[in-house]
Structure 1
Amino acid sequence: MIPAPRRPSTRFSLPALGLILSCILLAIILGVVTWRNLDREERLMENFLRKEGQTLIRAIEAGARTTMMMGSKSANLKTLVRKTAQEETVAYILVVDEHGQINAASGSLPSSIQNLPVAQAISGKSPMTRLTRLASNQAVFEVTREFNPVGENASDSRMRRRWPQWCAMGGMGDEAACRQAIFVGLYTREFEAARREDVKQSLIMGGVLLLFGAGGFYFLFLSQESRVAQRTLENMELYTRNVIESMPAGLITLDEQGRITSLNERARDIFGHQEESFEGKHLNALAGEGRCEIESLLQDGQEFTDKPMECQAGSGENIPVKVSASLLRDRKGAPLGRVLIVRDMREIRAMEEALERSRRMAALGRMAAGIAHEIRNPLGTLRGFAQFFRRRSDDDTAAREYADLMVGEVDRLNRTVSALLQFSRPREPEYAAVDLGELLQRTARLMEEDMAAHRVTLKVDQPVKPVAFSADPDLLTQVLINLLQNGFVATQEGGEIRLGGARENQDIRLWVQDFGRGMAAEERERMFDPFYTTRKEGTGLGLAVVQQIIEQHRGRIEVESAPGEGTLVEVILPAGENYDKA
């Protein structure tokens, strides 16, 4: 099961965050500017309407003074108010005395006519203003002050005397106290239209900023989702790559033209190509031209599983492999290429060969034990008769020589039988602490006479540092002696053989190297088979016993040899202190 990727930590996209912050800042600025514009427009409206109202009031007062100078009746005030109220911008004009009596009125009267601030208007030193509404719910800006056609600074005393009399005409007031207030209501339609237009523009700008802000939030959301998706894909890619690279088998993907699109490290290891790049190259560049059946099977469009075949490595070595091939398809089922699984069968084949060799050796051991038992008893009798005839032929030199030859041949045959018995019934190793340097020196001393007899020089490569490990020293000595015997036989007189050992990580390595005639590939494959030998006097059991002993020690043997270049045999043992002999 593929693990769920961790959700990445929240990190905002800088462009989106900048856009959002800019929209918020612009919205704040727009709100402040709109509020200030509306406030400024309201002040301008009030100033303008106040001045216009005062102008109308002064005009009505001037008209009233004219009528007073002409001695006209106060009824002319109503006519003056009515005419003035006919202006489009004038909603109404009221002249009210201090007792609330309406002396003159024209226009659409306000809904709050019963609550007019007459007393405040008469007593106030400056005009009063307020916003009110008509019965039709229309907004009106009202300007109010005391109605005084004479004026406070009037120099004509006669005009001041006429005012109370004129004011009292027609029941407009009494002469003792003729104080009145005038109310002028002015429409604010144009100003409200302008304000609504400003608000509309501000709302449009706010909507635009809202769209930009929403776009920023959406972009931020998409950015976060994209980041999560990208991180998820990266985690999936990393996980898939780790799975592919950790596979014990080689994995190769091909396109529809048979070109390599990818391969893991194990595939490179199997075919021996570590550094070279194969992406885009044909499969033959990796598996060897004409030396692998993969190409022909792929051309047939087959899908197969664990098909055994041999391919060629970069070094020229033939590699036994098992190959599985299947088609790669897209979502619609259309073919995209192929995927190959390549399993290296070298170790398995070596194990199979070792198992088969063990079976053969077991069978040979059982047969050898039977033969040795049947042969050894008659050999003792033959040797006894040969010695008897030798004692009886003191005067016959030829008979004595033949008797000695018979004894020698019987002894040689007995040694072969002893080797057969050792091979068929090997003794268990008796583990003890072994000093590698002492093991090499003792073996060299045991082989001094044989080396001198064959006029071959033996050189010992001692380990740099003392090396101790657990093994059977007698069996290892026999291994080294057998290897050295094969070495000096293959070496010409005056040649050299090297015996050495060292510790390498967790392994103990022993080697015997000669510079003699070497071996061909067929000889290397059969050198450990029982009874296989290239020497007339050999039994073919020496190397078989060597392999048997090393397998008992849970080790292995590696051989490098070529005709005319000599042979290097390495024995590799584990460096553990003891072994499980089960």
Structure 2
Amino acid sequence: MNTVLKRFARPAFFFTSPWLLAAAAGLLVIIVVTFAFHNFRLEKRLMTSAMLQKAATLMQVLHSGSRAAYFNDLRKDFWNNDEWNVHVQRVIDHLSEDPELRFLALIDAKGTVIAHSDHGRVGSTLNVNLPEAQAEPRSEPVPMAWVIHQTADYGRVFEAVRQFFPIRPGAMPPRSLGERPGEPGDGPGFMMHRHNERRPMLRFFADSGRPGDRHYVVAGLDMAEFDQTLGRLQLQIVLLSLAMLLVGLGGWLSLSAVQGYRVSQKTIEDMQAYTSLLIARLPIGVIATDAQGRIATWNEAVSELTGITRTRATGRRPAEVLPAPLAALFADNGLGQGSGPDRDSSLRLMFGARRCELRCHLLPITDSEQQYRGKVLLLSDVTEIRSLEQRMRESERLAAVGRMAGGVAHEVRNPLSSIKGLALLLKHKFPEHSRERDTADLLIQETERMNRTITEMLSFTRPAPLRLEPVDLGALLQRTLELVRTEAADSGVVTRVQLAPDLPAVEGDADRLQQVLMNVLLNGLQAMEEGGRLEVAAEADADGVEVRVTDTGRGIAPELQAQVFFPYFTTKPGGSGLGLAISQKIVADHHGTIEIESESGQGTTVVIRLPRRQPANGAEKTSGDGAGEGATPA
């Protein structure tokens, strides 16, 4: 059994196909790699989107800032203002203070630099990929082109290009007719100026371009932080992938270990179930305790014997549920051995109303290292075996007594008849009240007594025919008790009868059964010379009817109880010793049993069990008296 458990204790993957293991590992690697690349691409898109958002923000600031500066210049001096590209250059100079901005430039459609964060590059040409151009601003976003490349001057940059729409003045009237801006009331009027001043009229377009020209903003962002972030992300993805791979392998190994554990547990559970079923179905009682002395095993045979269920017994100590003689077997002396009766012994116990004789065998439980783990008690109910042995001994004794009685009766009765006849003859030869006549009467009486003894012996040894008929046992008990009630009252004995309401009829000889009841009742009365209580109870069970006659007399010593049914055994002066022996034979002829339960000084109970009547028509005759219970004081 240990070999089997060791075999199943190994993890299940030891028995798994290597191809299955390789396939599972490959699938796990594919899942981890796919997940890692997906995360990397997602993070790269997010970083690119952030760079585009920053470039778009810079371009929007450039457009808005140059426009605001240009309009502000117009408000100050409409006639004398800077060109729009000058305002763009100023905003670029301001934005170039951002450390992440490598360069910011304004170019035309040919790539000629109009404004640049590096003033030395104004007028040079930039080679960039221009996005799709629009004739004029629209509500939808302006397209933006971007590229990441390596430059000689700025290193690795994120280059974004978007179309730029410069702001040019249109034909705008002066603030008031006849006034020039800034000189209210000092001039001849609109389109007029001083004679010594030469100013152009309204500049509708800047000098640097025409209305049809297209311009573009080019922003170059530093990629150092972008690359560092992607590098950290790659490292994180690699570490995460390794961690997921390790977690996956650990999980797979854990599942394999759990599966192996389940297999071993299932094997152990099957073995335990088989062992439990085997122990539960054993015809002998099994009680086992653990190392702490608590009951761990309690099979069905023990439950049937004691009437205590397994759920009530398990987990408790033997002294809490078992009778004292059985609990004493589990007493521990520190060595795992019983300190009570012999480890292989016989006990006579009462379980309810049933007296049992048990054969007890106690064994210590040790493990492979000889460590004490508990005890197991095997209980065998040998009550029926002892009863059969007792009946065999009684049969042998009765056979011997019968053979002896037959010979004695044959050899003694003939001389007794002659002695009685001679005594009768002598009696009539002497006068009345003479000593000789009284002696002859005494001889006749003793001869008749001896003849009665021989007759009783013959009735005890010979099978007497029974007149079987349905017997109402309740009525028979009431009638027999009435015959001894007067004698009981004279002796100061209180009689009490208790009959179950549904006593079934028994098949028997009413006269012989009454003889048995009379013998038992008279024995009980004679045991209570100073008064007491005589109780008669009858009840039915599945097997038949049980009659219990209990007295409160002096009882029977334990060493004498085995002899009470022996012929000629008696403890009463003048008793013949055949009453209980004849009663036992009559009950046995009715296929019943009679037993004695007694303790010295505690009284005696005679238990008579008779089988039910087996009616031919399926009906069963019951007691006509019904339940009866009463007490009659002496």
What TM-score comes out, normalization by structure 2 length? 0.55
1:46 equivalenced with 2:93 (yes/no): no
**C-alpha distance in structure 2 between counterparts of 1:294 and 1:161, whole Å:** 119
* Equivalent position of 1:541 in the other structure: 578
**What's the offset of the Cα at 1:526?**
1.9
**C-alpha distance in structure 2 between counterparts of 1:162 and 1:381, whole Å:** 175
**What's the offset of the Cα at 1:474?**
2.9
**Contact 2:63 2:164 survives alignment (8 Å):** no
* Equivalent position of 1:442 in the other structure: 479
Structure 1 residues 292 and 129 mapped into 2: Cα distance closer, same or farther (>3 Å)?
A: closer
**C-alpha distance in structure 2 between counterparts of 1:527 and 1:125, whole Å:** 129
Structure 1 residues 44 and 184 mapped into 2: Cα distance closer, same or farther (>3 Å)?
A: closer
Q: What secondary structure is seen at the aligned counterpart in 2 of 1:501?
A: strand
Structure 1 residues 107 and 279 mapped into 2: Cα distance closer, same or farther (>3 Å)?
A: farther
Show structure 2 runs of 5+ residues with no match. 2-41, 71-85, 115-121, 151-155, 173-198, 617-634
Q: What secondary structure is seen at the aligned counterpart in 1 of 2:524?
A: helix
**C-alpha distance in structure 1 between counterparts of 2:102 and 2:470, whole Å:** 125
1:459 equivalenced with 2:495 (yes/no): yes
Structure 1 residues 517 and 92 mapped into 2: Cα distance closer, same or farther (>3 Å)?
A: closer
Alignment equivalent of 1:388, drawn from 421, 424, 435 = 421
**C-alpha distance in structure 2 between counterparts of 1:286 and 1:521, whole Å:** 19
**Contact 1:519 1:562 survives alignment (8 Å):** yes
* Equivalent position of 1:181 in the other structure: 214
* Equivalent position of 1:336 in the other structure: 371
**What's the offset of the Cα at 1:337?**
1.4
Structure 1 residues 310 and 318 mapped into 2: Cα distance closer, same or farther (>3 Å)?
A: farther
Q: What secondary structure is seen at the aligned counterpart in 2 of 1:188?
A: strand
Code of the residue aligned with 2:597 in structure 1: it is: V
**Contact 1:94 1:106 survives alignment (8 Å):** no
* Equivalent position of 1:524 in the other structure: 561
Structure 1 residues 341 and 531 mapped into 2: Cα distance closer, same or farther (>3 Å)?
A: farther
Aligned counterparts, 1:26-37, within 5 A: none
**Contact 2:318 2:330 survives alignment (8 Å):** no
**What's the offset of the Cα at 1:480?**
0.9
Q: Structure 1 stretch 377-386 or stretch 422-431: which is displaced more? A: 422-431
Note the alpha carbon deviations across 1:138-175, whole angstroms, 9 max, x for none: 64222324678x75469934967995xx97xxxxxxxx
**Contact 1:133 1:139 survives alignment (8 Å):** yes
Alignment equivalent of 1:326, drawn from 344, 364, 386 = 364
**What's the offset of the Cα at 1:310?**
6.0
Note the alpha carbon deviations across 1:309-347, whole angstroms, 9 max, x for none: 3689999x9986522323322xxx3343143222446x5
**What's the offset of the Cα at 1:543?**
1.1
**What's the offset of the Cα at 1:529?**
2.4
Structure 1 residues 179 and 361 mapped into 2: Cα distance closer, same or farther (>3 Å)?
A: closer
Alignment equivalent of 2:456, drawn from 419, 422, 427 = 419
**C-alpha distance in structure 1 between counterparts of 2:402 and 2:109, whole Å:** 151
**C-alpha distance in structure 1 between counterparts of 2:64 and 2:555, whole Å:** 132
**C-alpha distance in structure 2 between counterparts of 1:183 and 1:196, whole Å:** 30
Q: What secondary structure is seen at the aligned counterpart in 1 of 2:216?
A: strand
**C-alpha distance in structure 1 between counterparts of 2:455 and 2:147, whole Å:** 137
Alignment equivalent of 1:133, drawn from 142, 147, 154 = 147
Code of the residue aligned with 1:470 in structure 2: it is: V
**Contact 2:507 2:612 survives alignment (8 Å):** no
**C-alpha distance in structure 2 between counterparts of 1:320 and 1:470, whole Å:** 31
Note the alpha carbon deviations across 1:456-481, whole angstroms, 9 max, x for none: 76735253747443242333212111
Structure 1 residues 499 and 158 mapped into 2: Cα distance closer, same or farther (>3 Å)?
A: closer
**What's the offset of the Cα at 1:390?**
3.6
Q: Structure 1 stretch 472-481 or stretch 191-200: which is displaced more? A: 191-200
Structure 1 residues 124 and 143 mapped into 2: Cα distance closer, same or farther (>3 Å)?
A: same
**C-alpha distance in structure 2 between counterparts of 1:518 and 1:413, whole Å:** 30
Q: What secondary structure is seen at the aligned counterpart in 2 of 1:540?
A: coil
Code of the residue aligned with 1:474 in structure 2: it is: D
**Contact 1:319 1:344 survives alignment (8 Å):** no
**C-alpha distance in structure 1 between counterparts of 2:586 and 2:600, whole Å:** 25
Structure 1 residues 460 and 52 mapped into 2: Cα distance closer, same or farther (>3 Å)?
A: closer
* Equivalent position of 1:12 in the other structure: none
Q: What secondary structure is seen at the aligned counterpart in 2 of 1:326?
A: strand
* Equivalent position of 1:362 in the other structure: 395
Q: What secondary structure is seen at the aligned counterpart in 1 of 2:606?
A: strand
**C-alpha distance in structure 2 between counterparts of 1:503 and 1:470, whole Å:** 12
**C-alpha distance in structure 2 between counterparts of 1:402 and 1:91, whole Å:** 166
Aligned counterparts, 1:283-362, within 5 A: 299=335, 307-309=343-345, 321-329=359-367, 333-344=368-379, 347-348=381-382, 350-362=383-395
**C-alpha distance in structure 1 between counterparts of 2:421 and 2:324, whole Å:** 73
**C-alpha distance in structure 2 between counterparts of 1:453 and 1:335, whole Å:** 69
* Equivalent position of 1:144 in the other structure: 163
**Contact 1:462 1:500 survives alignment (8 Å):** yes
Q: What secondary structure is seen at the aligned counterpart in 1 of 2:577?
A: coil
1:156 equivalenced with 2:169 (yes/no): no
The two structures, once aligned, show a CA RMSD in angstroms of 6.1
Note the alpha carbon deviations across 1:226-251, whole angstroms, 9 max, x for none: xx99xx99x99x98999989985353
**C-alpha distance in structure 2 between counterparts of 1:194 and 1:508, whole Å:** 103
What TM-score comes out, normalization by structure 1 length? 0.59
Structure 1 residues 263 and 57 mapped into 2: Cα distance closer, same or farther (>3 Å)?
A: closer
Higher share of residues assigned helix: 1
Structure 1 residues 124 and 49 mapped into 2: Cα distance closer, same or farther (>3 Å)?
A: closer
Q: What secondary structure is seen at the aligned counterpart in 2 of 1:260?
A: coil
Note the alpha carbon deviations across 1:491-511, whole angstroms, 9 max, x for none: 43x746635233266564434
**C-alpha distance in structure 1 between counterparts of 2:219 and 2:598, whole Å:** 119
**Contact 2:596 2:607 survives alignment (8 Å):** yes
**Contact 1:459 1:499 survives alignment (8 Å):** yes
Code of the residue aligned with 2:569 in structure 1: it is: Y
Code of the residue aligned with 1:109 in structure 2: it is: N
1:109 equivalenced with 2:127 (yes/no): yes
**Contact 1:252 1:264 survives alignment (8 Å):** yes
Note the alpha carbon deviations across 1:150-209, whole angstroms, 9 max, x for none: 75469934967995xx97xxxxxxxxx8842222321133698399579959x89x979x
**C-alpha distance in structure 2 between counterparts of 1:161 and 1:360, whole Å:** 146
**Contact 2:289 2:297 survives alignment (8 Å):** no
